[in-house]
Amino acid sequence: MRTEQPNTIYLKDYQVPDYLIDETTLTFELYEDHSLVHAQLVMRRNPQAGAGLPPLVLHGQELELLSLSLNDRELGAGDYQLTPASLTLQPDSASFTLDSTVRIHPESNTALEGLYKSGTMFCTQCEAEGFRKITYYLDRPDVMSSFTTTVSADKQRYPVLLSNGNPVAAGDGEDGRHWATWQDPFKKPAYLFALVAGDLWCIEDSFTTMSGRDVALRIYVEPENIDKCQHAMDSLKKSMRWDEEVYGREYDLDIFMIVAVNDFNMGAMENKGLNIFNSSAVLARAETATDAAHQRIEAIVAHEYFHNWSGNRVTCRDWFQLSLKEGFTVFRDAEFSADMNSRTVKRIEDVAYLRTHQFAEDAGPMAHPVRPDAYMEISNFYTLTVYEKGAEVLRMIHTLLGADAFRKGSDLYFQRHDGQAVTCDDFIKAMEDASGIDLTQFKRWYSQAGTPRLQVSEAYDAAAQTYTLTFAQSCPATPGQAEKQPFVIPVALGLLDAQGNDLPLQLAGEAAAQGTSRVLSVTEAQHSFTFVNVAEKPLPSLLRGFSAPVKMSFPYSRDQLMFLMQHDSDGFNRWEAGQQLAVQVLQELVGQRQRGEAMVLDQRLIAALRTLLENQQLDQAMVAEMLSLPSEAYLAEISDEADVDAIHAAREFVRQQIAEALYEPLWARYQASREQSRQTPYVAEAGQIARRSLQNIALSYLMETGREEVLAACLEQYEHSDNMTERLHALAVLVNSPFEAEKAGALAKFAEHFKDNPLVMDQWFSVQAGSPLPGGLSRVQQLMAHPAFNLKNPNKVRSLIGAFANQNHVNFHALDGSGYRFLADQVIALNGFNPQIAARQLAPLTRWRKFAPARQALMRGELERILASGELSPDVYEVVSKSLA
Ligand code: B3K
Ligand code: ZN
């Protein structure tokens, strides 16, 4: 049983640091069975912290202190105090130099935080609090220092030695060793420190910045992956140009490096000048990575690059401000991706993700504001709320201010705070100062958790020719926040006439109409807006482009939704109307199923989809999105009590009905596209990606019919595609089909062919883990014993255990509790060596309140079992204890 509970850290307790570090000089001596770290810190009393010389408390964990000296005076054991997490000593002057040497063990670091080994290579991950596992330090983001780093290692094993900044010196040492020194002239917090040593190859390119400086660009990978870097390099150059054009931000060092590593807890890390990436976020070529993987790489490369300004040049004062850099940078990368691909499709994907996963988080036991006010373990707060909802908050500011004022605000923010560690309030202040718009009430988005509901009602007065929309907003209670104040909710909208045209929009009191799509600010709990000169009762198109992260409802009839699907000038809302129609139909079927009635499908859904499929003018990616039914996870999220089996049955029923009724147009679309694939070599480019997405969704519907000609087509696509997008989809469709022999054959062949490519094997695990066919858990358990599986590798954990628990609802939620027990067992195992990954995998169990009492009891039982399982990491303890509270 655990004895010690982790402390809760509160935003309200923030205090400036007592001491500052101006210069940090590090020397690493890397060996196979230990490493030595020498740190020289040039320090001084923080003038903002008051008078006197308080004790200096440095962070440090899992360090073996070998020597310590203050101003060149060697300190003895009586001169300082050590705890498992700190080193305390008493400075005798306001400025001093501290030298320390510690021994650490990267070779046995399985938490993948601090300095660790991934395969044969040394690498680091310091955000948020990993630097304290490297040396004694003030490991907090408001302590910013210049860094000079020397790395020494065996030359043959580790020919490449990298750190932040620019290379300044290198040479050979004794015993076959060599060294390199790097200098980073920009002051930075320790969380942005990075080091890499390994046998790496790189591809090289260059970028000329807007002021004409040449920057060397390098992507380092293990030699066998050197042919999979070009897409990431192209993405990097596009990102650098886009940030200059859209934000006026120029890169600042002479070199920018990306290193791909196989063992990484998340996607990537923005270390200054030396981004370290999960190899899944770098490596791609047609034969091994899907379109989705290519787009994810483009987005992550951009995200990490954009952090150079939004995060590195201007950083966070404390970790409560995490969304200052993450929400802003996600907003920036989303706009970049929208500019590089289809804007509407990007928005649809992001909103579907937000509504399924972030809304669920915001309704669960870990709900927290975009700027949290308390945490036990900061690693648990790299959440969908901080990232995705944080980005929505930025998007709303952009919508309210307009693009020009927003840009003035961001220019002011970067100029005013360059080189500083600041708060979300500082960001808002810059936006207010540049735009003249008061954001006081708007800031509630940072402090209040929970997803607001927005109920909209209408009233048309034919005699007065006025149309009134009334918005009623409310927000459910969340842990620690019973009452909420009204938010500022920007509602972009239009009004459609009977032909589907946008009407001019004139509000009462305005002299003339102002456009046909505009943004209303809903600021009161109950807020009405009256449009005048409205000659006929219009149909409103509300929350265009999903202008605010709320749960909006309006009593649309199914016929009205079908009309909006065809006529709304806002592409996002055409999709949204289709989703709402599908949700209505699916919920009706769920009810029929629960009452034991035969399910009867409203044929209007078929009619609407037929119209879409027959329209050859529409963007194929849009058609694909509109053909996609709301996911089981989303249907669960919007249920008061999610009936996993009824949802699955209803959704499968609709899929089969669509497949039978629309067989012809789906088959025609499929064949035309597959023919084009056969004739055109693969390029990861928007037009082809759109075509393949429609082709693939058509194939999944067609396979529902079980017809021989479809099976043959699926096998042909599987065997003969020149790219992973088509091959993997064909495999997934086979895996979910009843054709056992073909399925087994394809799976075996795939594994044999790709056994040496771990990223492709991740896909192979995922398609099997996600299959809703009976027996899911035992398939997953067998796969855990596959030679390519390894619980120590986070990508493997995510692709097998994560895919099962998050994407395979019927199997994970099996009524005998076996899925829950399995997940709890894995969390208990992971807790022992990688707490961050353990805590992340727990998320599905934290949603227990969504389900009927029998499942609730089973899920809670597993959470309690984890709590009692022995010594828990703070990461797992926080999630489990809050979930049970
Ligand atoms: N800033 C990193 C995330 C670090 C997570 C640490 N547990 C990646 C990113 O958001 O760009
Ligand atoms: Zn980020």
Q: Kindly report the protein residue whose alpha carbon is nearest to atom 6 of ligand 1.
A: 127
CA dist list (Å): 442 to 222, 334, 438 = 48, 22, 8
171: β partners: 179
The Å distance, Cα 381 to ligand 2 centre, comes to 12
- What span, in angstroms and rounded, lies between the C-alpha atoms of 637 and 133? 39
The 10s digit of each residue's pLDDT in 19-56 is 999 999 999 999 999 999 999 999 999 999 999 999 99
Phi, psi (rounded to 5 degrees) for 678: -65, -30
Phi, psi (rounded to 5 degrees) for 27: -130, 125
- What span, in angstroms and rounded, lies between the C-alpha atoms of 198 and 262? 13
Phi, psi (rounded to 5 degrees) for 422: -130, -175
- From 2.60.40.1730, 1.10.10.60, 3.40.50.300, 2.60.120.330, which CATH number describes the 1-196 domain? 2.60.40.1730
Q: List the one residue out of 16, 24, 132, 39 whose CA is nearest residue 83.
A: 132
Ligand found nearest the CA of 325: 2
Q: 378: Cβ below 6 Å to ligand 1?
A: no
User: Are 885 and 860 a contacting pair, CB within 8 Å?
Assistant: no
Residues contacting residue 612 through CB under 8 Å, at least 6 positions apart? 565, 578, 618, 623, 626, 627
CATH of region 200-313:
3.30.2010.30
Q: For residue 830, what are its two tokens?
A: 């992971």
Question: Is the sign of the CA dihedral 269, 273, 279, 283 positive or negative?
Answer: positive
Q: 304: Cβ below 6 Å to ligand 1?
A: yes
Other beta carbons within 10 angstroms of residue 881's beta carbon come to 16
Q: 127: Cβ below 6 Å to ligand 1?
A: yes
Quote the pLDDT of residue 4.
64
User: Where is 29: in which H helix or E strand?
Assistant: strand 19-30
For range 642-670, the mean pLDDT: 98
Q: What is the DSSP letter of 111?
A: S
- What span, in angstroms and rounded, lies between the C-alpha atoms of 728 and 763? 8
758-769 and 776-784 are packed helices; what angle lies between their axes, rounded to 10 degrees?
Answer: 160
- What span, in angstroms and rounded, lies between the C-alpha atoms of 873 and 839? 9
- What span, in angstroms and rounded, lies between the C-alpha atoms of 821 and 870? 16
Quote the pLDDT of residue 748.
98
The DSSP line for 697-761 is: HHHHHHHTTT-HHHHHHHHHHHHH-SSHHHHHHHHHHHHTSS-HHHHHHHHHHHHHHHTT-HHHH
Residue 658 clears pLDDT 80, i.e. is over it:
yes
- What span, in angstroms and rounded, lies between the C-alpha atoms of 354 and 347? 10
Radius of gyration of the chain (CA): 28
Q: 669: Cβ below 6 Å to ligand 1?
A: no
pLDDT above 90 covers a percentage of the chain that reads: 99
The Å distance, Cα 387 to ligand 2 centre, comes to 8
Q: For residue 461, what are its two tokens?
A: 């007065």
User: Where is 233: in which H helix or E strand?
Assistant: helix 230-247
- What span, in angstroms and rounded, lies between the C-alpha atoms of 845 and 413? 40
Does this chain's domain 315-447 share its CATH topology with 453-556?
no
The 10s digit of each residue's pLDDT in 683-700 is 999 999 999 999 999 999
Q: 184: Cβ below 6 Å to ligand 1?
A: no
Quote the pLDDT of residue 5.
82
The 10s digit of each residue's pLDDT in 384-404 is 999 999 999 999 999 999 999
- What span, in angstroms and rounded, lies between the C-alpha atoms of 496 and 25? 65
Phi, psi (rounded to 5 degrees) for 187: -65, 140
Residue 126 clears pLDDT 60, i.e. is over it:
yes
The Å distance, Cα 375 to ligand 2 centre, comes to 19
Question: Is the sign of the CA dihedral 173, 152, 227, 306 positive or negative?
Answer: negative
Q: For residue 24, what are its two tokens?
A: 């940090």
The ligand 1 atom at the shortest distance from the C-alpha of residue 379 is 7
- What span, in angstroms and rounded, lies between the C-alpha atoms of 605 and 630? 13
The ligand 1 atom at the shortest distance from the C-alpha of residue 836 is 7
Mean pLDDT taken over the chain: 98
- What span, in angstroms and rounded, lies between the C-alpha atoms of 520 and 492? 6
Q: List the one residue out of 453, 450, 425 whose CA is nearest residue 439.
A: 425
The Å distance, Cα 702 to ligand 1 centre, comes to 40
Q: 30: Cβ below 6 Å to ligand 1?
A: no
Q: 266: Cβ below 6 Å to ligand 1?
A: yes
Per-domain residue ranges for the chain?
1-196, 200-313, 315-447, 453-556
Q: 333: Cβ below 6 Å to ligand 1?
A: no
The Å distance, Cα 253 to ligand 2 centre, comes to 20
Q: 291: Cβ below 6 Å to ligand 1?
A: no
Quote the pLDDT of residue 617.
95
Q: For residue 794, what are its two tokens?
A: 């986070």
Quote the pLDDT of residue 192.
99
CATH of region 315-447:
1.10.390.10
The active-site residue out of 29, 113, 298, 304 is 304
The ligand 1 atom at the shortest distance from the C-alpha of residue 326 is 10
CATH class of the domain whose range is 453-556: mainly beta
State the burial class of residue 458 (Cβ atoms within 10 Å of its Cβ: 0-12, 13-18, 19+). Answer: middle
Residues contacting residue 793 through CB under 8 Å, at least 6 positions apart? 262, 263, 758
Ligand found nearest the CA of 326: 2
For range 491-519, the mean pLDDT: 98
The 10s digit of each residue's pLDDT in 595-605 is 999 999 999 99
Residue 476 clears pLDDT 90, i.e. is over it:
yes
Residue 1 clears pLDDT 60, i.e. is over it:
no
Q: For residue 629, what are its two tokens?
A: 């039914």
Indicate the pLDDT class of residue 766, thresholds 50, 70 and 90.
very high
107 classed as catalytic = no
- Which of the listed residues 277, 382, 387 should we mutate to test ligand 1's pocket, taking the one with most ligand atoms within 8 A of CB? 382
The Å distance, Cα 677 to ligand 2 centre, comes to 36
Quote the pLDDT of residue 3.
44
The three-class DSSP label of residue 186 is: strand
Q: List the one residue out of 149, 184, 131, 143 whose CA is nearest residue 308.
A: 184
Q: Kindly report the protein residue whose alpha carbon is nearest to atom 7 of ligand 1.
A: 379
- Which of the listed residues 112, 324, 326 should we mutate to test ligand 1's pocket, taking the one with most ligand atoms within 8 A of CB? 326
User: Are 362 and 478 a contacting pair, CB within 8 Å?
Assistant: yes
The Å distance, Cα 304 to ligand 2 centre, comes to 6
